[in-house]
């Protein structure tokens, strides 16, 4: 009995320290990863789930998840630098290339049947790159932290950002 209580206390203490302001939820990080898999399983394009190699690395980095405090200048600057690198400095393209190389697969593209957002001159745009661990929660710009999602899978009504797991684990960050 004493061992169980001690274990429970240590477990709860560690969760409080590691995940303070992160996620007090009924869902685990693995549940969140499984939700991504459920969202993409029925699409025609691959991948239909997070690859094992990528999942293992993500699980290793679960301990790094914490909400960045944007009242602290360093945290805010870290976030802005990562966001700028990803959106404007070619980071997205570099990470997609690394993802393809590490997993030996191609990043999916829209086809004319499921055309991209551009309604004229479809260039078969690449799927969006979803940060599995959000940048606002100390997520890295690393190949293992991105996953290809369509616009609908990413931000649509049935997408990952509208899932209960994501809403509870990664509450909106005020920037």
Query: How many residues are there in the chain?
Result: 175
Q: What's the pLDDT at 9?
A: 39
Q: Are 110 and 123 in contact (CB under 8 A)?
A: no
- Alpha helices, DSSP H only, in 61-150? 73-87, 91-103
Q: What's the pLDDT at 121?
A: 58
d(C-alpha 88, C-alpha 138), whole Å? 19
Q: What's the pLDDT at 122?
A: 56
Q: How many CB atoms lie within 10 A of CB 41?
A: 10
Q: What's the pLDDT at 137?
A: 93
Q: What's the pLDDT at 117?
A: 53
Q: What's the pLDDT at 69?
A: 83
Locus of tokens 């203490």: 13
Beta-bridge mates of residue 149: 128
Torsions phi, psi for 146 (to 5 deg) = -120, 155
Task: Single out the residue of 75, 88, 29, 78 nearest to residue 55, CA to CA.
Answer: 29
Q: What's the pLDDT at 6?
A: 40
Question: Where are the domains positioned within the chain?
Answer: 2-169
Task: Single out the residue of 61, 77, 81 nearest to residue 139, CA to CA.
Answer: 61
Half-sphere exposure of residue 128, counting CA atoms within 13 Å on the CB side?
16
Could you read off the pLDDT tens digit of each residue along the chain, which spans 175 residues? 544 444 433 344 444 333 434 445 578 999 999 999 999 999 988 999 999 999 999 999 999 999 888 778 788 888 999 999 999 999 999 999 999 999 999 999 887 655 555 555 555 578 999 999 999 999 999 999 999 998 889 998 989 999 999 988 888 755 5
């Amino acid at each position: 009995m004493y061992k169980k209580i001690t274990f429970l206390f240590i477990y709860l203490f560690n969760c409080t320290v590691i995940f303070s302001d992160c996620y007090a939820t009924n869902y685990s990080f693995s549940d969140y990863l499984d939700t991504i898999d459920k969202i993409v399983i029925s699409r025609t394009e691959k991948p239909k789930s997070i690859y094992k190699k990528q999942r293992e690395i993500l699980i290793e980095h679960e301990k790094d998840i914490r909400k960045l405090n944007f009242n602290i200048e360093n945290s805010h600057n870290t976030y802005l630098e990562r966001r700028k690198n990803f959106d404007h400095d070619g980071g997205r393209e570099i990470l997609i290339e690394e993802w393809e190389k590490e997993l030996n697969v191609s990043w999916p593209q829209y086809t004319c049947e499921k055309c991209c957002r551009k309604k004229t001159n479809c260039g078969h745009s690449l799927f969006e790159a979803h940060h599995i661990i959000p940048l606002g929660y100390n997520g890295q710009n690393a190949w293992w932290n991105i996953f290809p999602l369509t616009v609908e899978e990413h931000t649509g009504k049935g997408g990952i950002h509208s899932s209960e797991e994501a809403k509870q684990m990664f509450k909106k960050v005020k920037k």
